[in-house]
Structure 1
Amino acid sequence: MNKSLQKLGQIVSRQNIIRYSIRYASNDSNKLRHSTILIQDGVNVQELPIIVRRLSGKDFIILDNNLVPDEEHTNTISETNNKEELAEIINGFNRCVTTDEIFKILDTMPAEEVTPLVALHALQKTYELDNNKVFRNDYSKYIGSDESENFTRTAILNQLIDRICHTNNNDVLVKGLELLSKDVFKSNTKSVKEKLKDEIILQISQNKFTLKQVCDTVRILSDCGNRQLIDTLWVGITERIDEINETNFIDVFQTLLFFKKSRRPITYTLEKKMIAIWYKLKSDDICKLLPVLSKTNVPALRFLEVTSKWIHTNIHTLSEDQLRTIIIHLSDLDYRDSNIENALERYIKMKSIQIKDPTVMAAIMDYCYKFRIRSVHIMQGCAEYLIIKQKELSPVHFKSLFLPFGHLVFKPLNGIQFWKCVEQFLDEKFVNFKPNDFLDVMLACVYLKNYPLNFVDKVFNPFFLDRLQVKDDFNKNQIQRMKSGVNGEKENLRSMFNSYKVNFSLNFKLFLGMGVFWICDISQRYIKTNLFFTTILDTITCSQGILIFVLFIAKKRIMKQLMDVYNKKILGLNPMRNSTSRSTTMTVFTVNSVGGNDMDSKYKK
């Protein structure tokens, strides 16, 4: 116990302050125990799971992960079999068509020749034949069919797994664990399987696994459902931060999906590393990084800031599929900054009409619509793309491309051609639109004050409304807003038509009146001998004022307006402001109105 306390003191006195909280386990059968450790990083303190190896019932040691691996623990071991002998044994296993043949070969081999590598190949071939047998036949026929056969099989598998556990080759351990996860028969080998897992966990805790081997182990344990064991493997990653580079960064980053309690220290480690190597990452790395951020609850702000910097620098290297993937995941993560906006503007300027996949432009416009990005370059590029690629678009793509114009109130420069293509597309693909999508497009037209009068009859149609099945308030509000916009446009058109009608009537009457007077004046010059006609023409010419008064002034509406103006002038009232005037009879009028409508009069004698 004193030695253990001395060891603990050595660890605590290191440069990084680590506080340990050990919890004893009551079971004495296993040599590994789960415990917790308190790690303080600045103001952050976190409790993390670790592995403790027991020496006896009362004494234990804490695994020091900073120790240099012993020379005997290397990735290459000296097998007793030479390469030729090993190849011959493996070929013998490959020629077997049943598990009994494999067991017979193992029975004839001396025990010292069954090395961990030989045991691994024998185990691999056994599981391969078993799985093939199950997949080709009914699974239930082969479970418990022969107790003696199952007993023999279990005994041999236990020996093979036990032999694998005693290897110094970590690749053999990882491969053996992967094979055990594929055992469809679920043989009675639980004890040796746990022994193999404990051996792997122990090697990782002692920092004897490479970074790739740790990542592979995490994935295999995840397939086996061992979440508790996975959370203890964080030391295998954080202790090898110097080995993380641009080639294995994403492999390590994807392991965040499998950690739960110990996800935060790995996240901090990867944050520091990504800031250092972000410019070396490839396009595929960024496409794999963002989905992990979407699925996990790790603090993603720093990762996204570095990612946006990478996108701003390398957007020209992205393929269309990669750009679509990145934009969709950035939208899911609710992230937007100036680097991404500038990068998208440059991309649209360079490749707007050259984009082959409409889903790429649709993803960009959905992103702009969600974050209210009203970029002239992006919107105008989308308008040109819609005009040129009109025939290649589906209704879903068209909706994504068109809606931002309405909700962001952006009118393209080539408006006539743009609206012509929009109207043509809506007319041709009307039956292919989902009712809700078509209503969204109509509403966007209303926002732009380009009212879709040609499609009103199609929307307010029993067949369309039956497809729509208006049940929720959202659809009702959409229809009501579109109807209000269309009705408002009809009122504007009606008032405009009435004003045109009045102007036309006045001009036409004036044209007729002045035409008659002009004809009379010309006729009077040529007809001078006939006094009767001359008198009639003079009378008509003199009655110009009367005719103008009858045609233009002698109307009920005009007379009413003239009387209102006359009365106001007589009374000395100003209809646009509060005023007080005094008459000779000392009558005081107080007018409170806007436009002369409301009037309160007080009389004082």
Structure 2
Amino acid sequence: MALVTLRRNLCHLSDFRVYGALVALRSLPVNPTNKVVTGHLHPWFSSLLPEPARVLSHPVCGKNFHSENGNNLAPLGGQRFPQVHDWDALDQNFKNEGEQLFYRRLNSLTSWEEVLSFLSTLEILPVTWAAGALRRICEVEKGDSDQRLSKEILENSAFQALCFQLEQQLSRLSNTDLVTALQTLSLLHVNHQSSLVLNLVAECQNRLQAGVLEASNLCLLGETLIGLQDPGCVTLGLIIHQLQGKKLETFTPEDVVAIYRILQTYSDKVNQHQTFLNMINNFSLSVVSYLSPKSVSQVLAALVVLDQTQAHPLIIKLGRYAVRHVPHFTNEELRKVLEAFIYFGLSDRFFTKALEQLIVSHCLSLDPGVISRVMEYCSRKLILSKPIFNAVAETFVCQSEKFSPSQISELIEPFGKLNYLPPNAPAFFRKVENVLFTDFNRFPPKMLLQVLHSCSLIECHPVNFLPKIFSPFFLQQLQGEESYLDRLNLAQLTQLFLTSVLECPFYKGPKLLPKYRVKSFLTPCYSLETPVDFPFYKSVMMALIDLLGKRIYFASKVLTPYCYTIDVEIKLNEEGFALPFTANEDVHKRIALCVDGPERFCSNSNHLLGKEAIKQRHLRLLGYQVVQVPHHEVEMLKSRLELVEYLQGKLFPQKTSVLW
């Protein structure tokens, strides 16, 4: 007779110390149903040299078994001994229970010391648990930062033992655990040339070539190889090829984001995968609502790199979901979203409203790069958001030293372009002037000219800098290695010179040489004026003919000697009679009629753009009577007759009837 006592000890659950089973066998023949553990199990990290596989027994708690012949065991209570398959099921239950307890305790730990200390209490550590422990170290040490693993961790003997066990038992890891382990080491910035990382990569490549990786494993492996900064075009190409063979329904939202990031590295060969990319673009419409703020920014950034302008429905939907994530984006994520909005020309009033709330409340804590992108977004879409502009102006006064020259240029330009002076304008432009004086040589010539020209648009004339930018030395720097100066730069220089003559008569410094002056500000691509809106312009022309009687009494699109083009010019004699536009004598007054369509105003606003405001300002100083005909006033009129009466009131406010 032999008495076998199997005892299960999971006491002290809070410490989760799992001890090996104590098995007492008395001169019994080997039975297939017996689970034998020979010797005492030592802690896992103290004996990692190659050895026969160890067996973990899961003893039954509180049961005494009696055997008559050493072969037929039965419980003392009369129950029959379980068959072999019952033992297997029992082992599996205990294995699952132990795994759950292990991960529950592991996830409660908050530092790498606690993780390694916890592992040292375990008698054995399956390789899958080792992979989980490594992942937990990554979670508690890295967090949301991009820091490298500290030298103290790397040199810790228990951590080295953990890595050694993984390296020795790679073949026992599941596909998911294998790829996850490689991703973890990549995130922890472990030396990419270490034997563990190289062996993990080799094992992943072997399984990739064998075609046994599922879609999620392929996506995770692709992202990880990109993070290792030496992905290998062949490997990534094979991953993309195998992904194309997977069913779209098997892709999770995380997989979709990973696919975009993988294809992003293949941007130079995007045409080869455009069919697959089109399928992903269409499928992504169904997963946008499940994407996190980080994922939304990553997909938008990838679409920019891949130049997916044809994926308009996806871009629009991502833009709408980005609105609700604005308060939750990190600085980098928000910057990527803004760049995508700028690149694809997106504009959303709810997105702008969310930006206003963010900028007003957190502008001082935002990265200068994000602030400059917000201003660029407003500038590109002609959005005059006074809360944003005011908050940015205040931030620049307080933190100007944080901004680079390019960021300063991107910040200043919208104020001039959209013709807006913030409440703290004196302090704001005094700070701009101080920064330019201090770091004048840090600004590239074209960037410096852009800043000074933007200031002049809103009557903040950079008189102290005019001698420098009109000098031959600066003009030579501006030209650089090109054989000629850029047309836009010449137009900006000419307008600054005209500003110095008309608005700064006290300026007595160097003048801009005639060879650097343009003849017209209205030129294709480099215009400092906005062309007329032709349908609106045509309707005004027809009403003018009705008002004045003949087409001869006004001229259209007249180029003045001062570079500006007048939409409509009307000449009057001393008595107020309209003269033919060919007349050069007896001209007492010249009327410059500005037919201002929607393109000459800020978006959804009646606020005139900076380049149109300076044009009208200069025309008045040149002696013209400027009469503005804005589209928002004309659109309120119901008939052509009302338009004629409207123009009469604008052109001849003192007369009850028109003379010609």
Q: TM-score, normalised by structure 2?
A: 0.43
Structure number with higher helix proportion: 1
Query: Which protein is bigger by CA-based radius of gyration?
Result: 1
